[in-house]
A and B are shown apart, each in its own frame.
Chain A
């Protein structure tokens, strides 16, 4: 993990532990990305992350499970706050990896924007502190990308 991402590490580990025991396939997938971010170097995995991100950008909601092509939800249950927090972390890690993961500047900025939308879904008292600390780290990460 590069230096800009180091402050995220404790949150990544906590989120991964929580997600890996989840019954939600989406949470499990997010947990796997947190456990092994290098998975996102594969085009197929990047496409899946982008698909979740696009759903979040457009609808501001994700569900606990989807069909294999991620076209339709197969569950009425919305993703829990752990899932949104985990997805924000995956997007942040992916953005922070920059060119190493094949990300352009616009990829990174879009990922950070989606991560903020994910954090907007995290409202409970039990997650509020983590969410606001991750938000601060994201703002620092963003500042590296803002100036053209």
Chain B
């Protein structure tokens, strides 16, 4: 295993799992993993077990977060194992070890398999000072891979000697914003992904690598799923593995120095920020994954 000067900031879910699994399969070991454990229930917003000592709360909240955030990969594999395996085989058009990602996407969290240093921190979102303090106390200078969605607050982006890396599922600058995988296929006919240093705007940072990728041709059985299952299959397996493939491309070229990779500023006027697709659009666009060549 080759140590990489990288901290992976884990927002529990398929994206973080795919990045960590991809690095392990490719022989990379990030120096640190920070697991953000949300102290509030993600649906109700209520604090989780606030009367317990912090260490117990962190452990139990992390377990609940694992169950909730990885519900769909597990449910889809339990309900449709052969279809999921066929979808992963189709993803080998993009990355050669796609089928081997499966255990990382569905098994219970086991972060020590990926790194020698795991720090878990109970937080109330990415603005929580406990998170910025932990990053400030961690080794610097450091590149931090953010595995959640959306934007990071100034309190994190302004930490000295730290740069945040993100992989967005769309070709930049053309396709920014939400539902990037689906908008990419709708607008460009193929999926895409881009790796960039994060800045205050959504997907507006300086780009390290941007790629259009081959279309993923999912098996016809995909069309027999409900819209909810189709959408969640795309976001449980296709989207995270596409992002992980581009992350690996970046690591292959730049793993020695992730803080000062060559970049290009985005010509923002060449694209726009897209928003979540309405269910009717999701229905039509998700079908393209089993019908476009």
Contact = CB atoms under 8 A, between A and B. Distances in A.
- Interface residue SS majority, chain A: helix
Contact of B284 (A110, A114, A117, A139): A139
A116 B281 contact: yes
Contacts of B284: 139, 142-143, 146
B226 interface: no
Given A109-B186, A146-B186, A148-B187, A117 B278 contact: yes
Interface string A27-60: 0000000000000000000000000001001100
Nearest to A58: B275
A116 B281 CA distance: 8
Given A146-B288, A148-B187, A57 B281 contact: no
Contacts of A57: 275-276
A142 B281 contact: yes
Interface string A100-117: 000001100110111011
Interface residues of B, number: 16
Given A54-B275, A58-B275, 16 more contacts: A57-B275, A105-B187, A106-B272, A110-B275, A113-B275, A113-B278, A113-B281, A116-B280, A120-B279, A135-B280, A139-B280, A139-B284, A142-B280, A142-B281, A142-B284, A146-B288
17 contacts: A57-B275, A105-B187, A106-B272, A109-B186, A110-B272, A110-B275, A112-B281, A113-B278, A113-B281, A114-B275, A116-B279, A135-B280, A138-B280, A142-B281, A143-B284, A148-B187, A148-B188
Enumerate the 9 nearest inter-chain pairs by beta-carbon distance, A residue then B residue, closest first: A116-B278, A57-B275, A148-B189, A116-B280, A117-B278, A113-B281, A113-B278, A106-B187, A113-B277
Interface of A: 54, 57-58, 105-106, 109-110, 112-114, 116-117, 120, 135, 138-139, 142-143, 146, 148
Interface of B: 186-189, 272, 274-281, 284-285, 288
